[in-house]
Chains A and B, each alone.
Chain A
Amino acid sequence: MQAKVEVKKRITFILLAMAAILLALNMRLAWIQFVRGDEYQQQALRNRMREVPLEAKRGAILDRNGRELAVSVSAPSVGVFPAEVKKSRQEHEIAAQLAAILGLPEDQVLRNITRNESFWWVKRKVTFEQGAQIKSLRLPGVQVVEETQRFYPNQTLAAHVLGIAGIDNQGLEGLELYYDKLLRGTPGNLVIEKDARGRDIPHARQGYIPPEDGLSLVLTIDETIQYIAERELDLLMQGPSSPKGATVIVMDPKTGDILALANRPTFDPNNFRNFPVANRRNIAVSDNYEPGSTFKIITAAAALEEGVVGLNERFYDPGYIKVGKETIKCWRTGRPHGSQSFVEAVQNSCNPVFVTVGLRMEDRRKGSFYDYIEGFGFGKVTGIDINGEAKGLLRPRDKLKQINLATISIGQGVAVTPIQLITAISAVANGGQLFQPRLVREVRDHNGQVVQRIDPAPVRQVVSKDTARQVSEILEMVVSRGTGTRAYIPGYRVGGKTGTAQKVEGGKYVAGKYVASFAGYAPVNDPRLAILVVVDEPQGIYYGGTVAAPIFKRILEDSLRYLGVPAQYNSEVKPDRDNNRVKEVLVPDVSQQAVVKAQAVIKASGLSPVVQGIGTVVADQIPKPGVRVQMGTQILLYAKEGQPSGEVVVPDLTGWRTREVATIMEALGLKMSSDGTGEAWEQDPVPGTVVKVGTTVRVLFGDGAMAEAISP
């Protein structure tokens, strides 16, 4: 009883119909897998890849000798992919754990990790321990990313030059802002294949677009000179005159390089929020002030260049001078300077004489004095490579009256910035050539390869070489026998000019508020350093020659010595003001030695060690070994941690006892194998050998007699 024919037909039809459907599905499959395949595959991959932004490492800022002034150190940051956190349904547990580790309120963390964003930072730049702890928890959707944080190893040193960088490593002020584009680099990213809940999977694919690290800046700043300048400003601020503020600029007059630039009050860029915003003001380039007598250098140079006055021309100072209806007094009205040559008038800083020559220039050729003032760069920005530069205040030519010219001749009724003045005085020092001041001399990539060299930028020849030389010689006499004797350094040819200006507030001179300053350079015949010291509102004595000149002198003296500029005794040497000759000693070489040992060695030489930085090994020392200094001079020791190169110089251990040797060895990262007791008398390797950290040094100890007997 087989199935009927009709049933067979129907079954055949069903077979064909269902087979057709199956084949159609197979075609559909082919369409998906071949025609749309690539597209789907790409989309699937994108789906599985989670992107983590990678910050570029910000370039370092180095001093002219390559010492680090600003560096980027790595710091972990904690971020979340909120979608994955929500998908895990453990947001409360995750929030609780993160809050506990990071010390944040739990509700705030919960809000942040469940935001409607694809990625959100919970906390950035956390400690290494916090980062490691969170990483080890492997919380769903939580990502610990290595970021970098700006670190200024010398705290306040050169704070106004360096400026500050924000949480995103973006430059906010100073060089950090001005050169932000170079320093910043290009961010990259990391893409990692994850499962649908954002967890790591075995054999995950990874894509990595490396961030391009920022470029490094090599400054014209010399860390040591900067340190000296900062030190002197600190002493000034803490001293009896305790002024409102102060500025020092040290320039290389032959190039316009700024070797040091420091302001008070100051701040620590590592935690700038703890300081008043006003402390961040870079007075040296942003503030106008009345230069007073220091501006007479410009008047003198202009007058001599214009030929309206001779060096030995005689003047008579009655203690004042009449200009139209106005009377301008000399600073020493009670005891007028009387008859004097022009050179002596400069030494005396005699106002009537400068007014006379200033007006004389204008009589001879209208506008000539102003041509020089503008020629020296006043009234315009110098173009220094930092933001916020002011351009000073120069009365416009068409509103200029006799009395204005008269007061400008003595540095009143004109406002300049400290950077303008030191730049102009550097031009006088170097033979008349005005330079554009600069802070950066090289740009390097992260391998230390020089990318760009910035050359000194001469602007113009303002006065002739001869005129410049004449002014320099007069300024030298100001220091050796005039108002600037407190700037005198025996053995060095120092030229300079004092300045004391009453402060102007609201267009009027304010009684009892002064700006004391001193500008000068040395050695006069071959100037290496030009220095301007400006002290704002000193208490008590306010004369530039008394307040600013000693600071100038100490900065100049220490810096010249540091630079190894030889003293010249061929000029007229005056006895030291202290009048007690002290013994000179040779600075010993303690670099690459353990700090503890170095301090002992320095002390033993009759010098006084000052350790800068944190670490166990001396990286560098100032002054350099072999320099002759007075007994008791401070020797700066720059300490650093360990040895990046992994190599150390074996120190001379002779004469040290076992315990001390062990301390030194440990500090240097060396091992010791000792033999005998007493004092060390022989060692292997010998002192001065460069060895790898971890090398064993064999030290033989014995009593003194034995040592002498064996190695006489």
Chain B
Amino acid sequence: MRLRKGPPDFLIILSTSLLLAIGIVMVFSSSAYSAMISYGDQFYFLKRQGIWTILGAMGLFSAMQLDYFLVRRYAKIFLIGAILLLLLVLVIGLESHGSRRSLGMGFLTFQPSEVIKLAMAIYLARSLSEAGDRLKDFRRGLLPRLIILGAVCGLILAQPDLGTTIAVAGTAYILLAAAGARVSHLIGLAIIGLVGVFVAIFTADYRMQRLLSFLNPYADPTDSGFQIIQSLLALGSGGLFGMGLGQGRQKLLYIPERHTDFIFAIIGEELGFIGASLVICLFLILLWRGLRVAVTAPDTYGSLLAVGLTCMIVFQAIINIGVVTGSMPITGITLPLISYGGSSLLFTLISIGLLLNISRYAGQR
């Protein structure tokens, strides 16, 4: 079966480019002051983000060019490789803030959890497309896939990295829903998932702290509630038009993780409601076009892969913005395409490359 390649989805390219552009500008704006203090170079983070963006663009074009059926063939190997990396990071990972998440050294570090996100999306898309109606059968369809998902989540949680666990589990759940799992199973899974989250929260003090500080950040404004309060103060200072690019004040070391997890707060402060809404809109466009790619994909595998890749990105954006706006407890997820972060950016762009790849076969059978 030979399919003709059409043009890639223009709106996905446009919104991705805009988000990348906003990201580079805001990484610089939010990090310049602290980079000057810590490294004596206000361009420290900008330079690195620039290099990773170039690498990411190359990744995007490669992923867009190759035959995505080839990707399906190697899905299992890809997943096994990613799981091995997850095991490796537990042993020789670089320790930071009490957790081991990265491999490598110096500038060349990457997080295996970024690999597993992509590997899981690909694997589940293939596995679920092959399962077909068997998925409705709990023991033969759903359970084996849940076991693999559970094992992967367990490994990520062992780092520990609750944010990525939630991203992977959430994406998998959406994929199960898209692939046609029974509604009763989905509801049951949702309940189990929520219980799991609560167990995770009640078994780790810092997660409990995060939950409590989310419910009432002012109970401990200088410690556990500090991040969320500072984030709200930044957003609130922005108003409609913002304080102007570069004019934000909360980045003066008031907001922690200002160029990573909380970059959306700086966007809200400097670019106002208009700038922040633009970012949300671009993710909305990405969601719409990505799922449109899914609907128009030539086969179920392509369709589910498009759902997985799209929802992976948008789901993270939702959680990140939810945290920054104080709508949910802090989980430690970056804003895709915008936050500073090398391997995250690279794999997100590869994901979008794959999505664009699928979009080129839209409407064909």
Contacts and interface: CB of A to CB of B under 8 A. Distances in A.
Nearest to A46: B233
Nearest to B294: A11
A: contact size bracket: 35 or more
Contact of A32 (B177, B235, B299, B307): B235
Nearest to A203: B247
Contacts of A193: 249
A1 B300 contact: yes
A206 B318 CA distance: 38
A29 B280 contact: yes
A32 B325 contact: yes
Contacts of A25: 280, 318, 321-322, 325, 327
A516 to B, nearest CB: 71
Nearest to A24: B327
A48 B297 contact: no
Interface in A39-77: 39-41, 43-45, 47-48
A18 B322 contact: no
A32 B237 CA distance: 9
B247 to A, nearest CB: 9
B215 to A, nearest CB: 16
A33 B280 CA distance: 15
A14 B297 contact: no
Contacts of B327: 25, 28
B340 interface: no
Contacts of A29: 235, 268, 273, 276-277, 280, 321, 325
B7 to A, nearest CB: 19
B326 A32 contact: yes
A2 B299 contact: yes
A15 B304 CA distance: 13
Contact of B298 (A2, A7, A32): A2
A7 B283 contact: no
Nearest to B322: A25
Interface stretch (B56-64, B82-90, B284-292): B284-292
Contact of B240 (A33, A47, A195): A33
B236 A19 contact: no
A541 interface: no
Contact of A11 (B233, B254, B272, B307): B307
A37 interface: yes
Contacts of A28: 325, 327
B318 A22 contact: yes
Nearest to B233: A44
Contact of A26 (B249, B280, B296): B280
Nearest to B253: A196
A25 B273 CA distance: 12
A40 B255 CA distance: 14
B33 A14 contact: no
Contacts of A43: 233, 236
Contacts of B315: 18
B111 interface: no
Contacts of A197: 253
B94 interface: no
Interface string A443-478: 000000000000000000000000000000000000
B184 to A, nearest CB: 15
A15 B307 CA distance: 10
B131 interface: no
A352 B199 CA distance: 110
A15 to B, nearest CB: 5
A40 B265 CA distance: 13
Contacts of B163: none
A40 B277 contact: no
Contacts, number: 146
A1 B273 contact: no
A2 B295 CA distance: 8
A604 interface: no
B230 to A, nearest CB: 8
A635 B239 CA distance: 74
A30 B327 CA distance: 13
Contacts of A45: 237
A14 B299 CA distance: 19
Contacts of A36: 232, 236
Contacts of B304: 7
Contact of A40 (B237, B280, B283, B284): B237
Contacts of A6: 180
A676 B272 CA distance: 79
B254 A48 contact: yes
A196 B180 contact: no
Contact of A1 (B238, B272, B291, B299): B299
B177 A41 contact: no
A23 B277 CA distance: 9
Nearest to B180: A6
A15 B287 contact: yes
A4 interface: yes
Interface string B292-332: 00111111100110010001001101100110011100000
B307 A39 contact: no
A638 to B, nearest CB: 54
Contacts of B159: none
B291 A7 contact: no
A41 B318 contact: no
Given A10-B177, A18-B318, A33 B272 contact: yes
B303 A11 contact: yes
B236 A14 contact: no
Given A14-B307, A34-B273, A22 B235 contact: no
A2 B253 contact: no
B249 A48 contact: yes
Contacts of A22: 280, 283-284, 287, 314, 317-318, 321
Given A7-B178, A26-B277, A32 B283 contact: no
Nearest to B236: A40
A278 interface: no
B178 A196 contact: no
Nearest to A1: B299
A2 B297 contact: yes
B234 A44 contact: yes
Contact of B233 (A1, A7, A23, A40): A40
A8 interface: yes
A7 B311 contact: no
9 contacts: A2-B303, A3-B295, A8-B295, A19-B284, A33-B240, A37-B239, A38-B236, A47-B233, A193-B249
Interface of B: 33, 174, 177-180, 232-240, 249-250, 252-254, 268, 272-273, 276-277, 280, 283-284, 287-288, 291, 294-300, 303-304, 307, 311, 314-315, 317-318, 321-322, 325-327, 365
**Which 3 A-B pairs rank lowest in CB-CB distance, beginning with the nearest?**
A40-B236, A196-B253, A44-B233
